[in-house]
Amino acid sequence: MNSYLAAAVQMTSTPDVDKNLVEAEELIDLAVRQGAELVGLPENFSFLGTEAEKLQKAEEIAEKSEKFLKKMAQRFQVTLLGGGFPVPVEGNKAYNTALLINTNGQEIARYQKVHLFDVNIPDGIPYRESSTVMAGTQLPSVCQSDRLGNIGLSVCYDVRFPELYRHLSQQGADILFVPAAFTAYTGKDHWQVLIQARAIENTCYVVAPAQTGNHYALRQTHGHAMIVDPWGAILADAGEKPGVAIAEINPSRLKQVRQQMPSLQHRVFA
């Protein structure tokens, strides 16, 4: 593994799938022109609308999303994460699925979000992800890569469950993906500190693509796609507008932090 640049894309996705994919392509292109070799798109990159409409269009969204990711990875010769899109399953529901694609357009990792966002917060919107999404049942695996390091996947609300990331670090993860559509209400207080915590406690880089702004009706997201190093330092922050956060993934820095703070070796309880 050599040093390289990673990019966390920030979008304002809407219910218009085709428009979202055009925006995603433009931002992937922007990241690649700045030298990124690993690019992450946020949760709901291809569709962000009501739960009912998402379920109604799930088959179309899934087909277009997967085709898009494979095409973009090949065209731009990057390893590309689609941070979350619905894939229909029996029972009139869908898995919230993150997909990692290599430069040949081949799927190298798939993760179905296990923690669903059923939360009451005072922002005027009821969140019941489980009404249309089926929870995954498998912990994410770590994708081994000599070129990019070992990559672990998660999605949004997962970031509040540190045991998932401890599992990934135990499996040898160097980079943790946290693609998200974090609410504006919770994001202002919790997003940055949670991302830094997952990086620090697991001595891993965290690449966190994000949604930002107003998407439909009252639905607003926090933004601040970021990349954080294993010490918890924020290397890049996309702010509140669509764009990209780009930073170096440096194996020497990873080794240095793990030598200075060997906390993973000092665990008493597995």
Q: Among all residues, which ones are annotated catalytic?
A: 43, 113, 156
**Residue entry with tokens 């994460």:** 81
Among 83, 61, 90, 95, which residue's Cα sits nearest to residue 7? 83
- Beta strands per DSSP E along the chain: 4-11, 36-41, 79-89, 93-101, 107-112, 118-119, 127-128, 142-143, 151-152, 175-177, 205-208, 210-216, 219-222, 226-228, 234-237, 243-249
Residue 129 tokens read as: 């992800």
Vertex 227, ends 223 and 231: CA angle to 5°? 130
Closest CA to 235 of 77, 76, 36: 36
- For CA atoms 160, 164, 169, 170, the dihedral sign is positive
